[in-house]
Amino acid sequence: MHCADMLVLTESSRSAAYYAAYVVQHRLPEASVAVSIAKAYASDAYREVGAKGIQRHGGMGFTWENDLHLYYRRAKASELAFGDATYHRERIASLVIDQPHALAAEIR
Find the CATH number of the domain harbouring 27: 1.20.140.10
d(CA 75, CA 15): 18
Which domain covers residue 16, as residue numbers?
A: 2-107
Higher pLDDT, 63 or 17: 17
Q: Is the pLDDT of residue 20 over 80?
A: yes
Count of domains for the chain: 1
Give the confidence band of 101 by pLDDT, cuts at 50, 70, 90.
Answer: low
Query: What's the chain's average pLDDT?
Result: 84
The tens digit of pLDDT for each residue in 56-100 reads 877 665 666 777 778 878 877 877 787 788 888 888 888 888 776
Q: Is the pLDDT of residue 25 over 80?
A: yes
d(CA 99, CA 3): 40
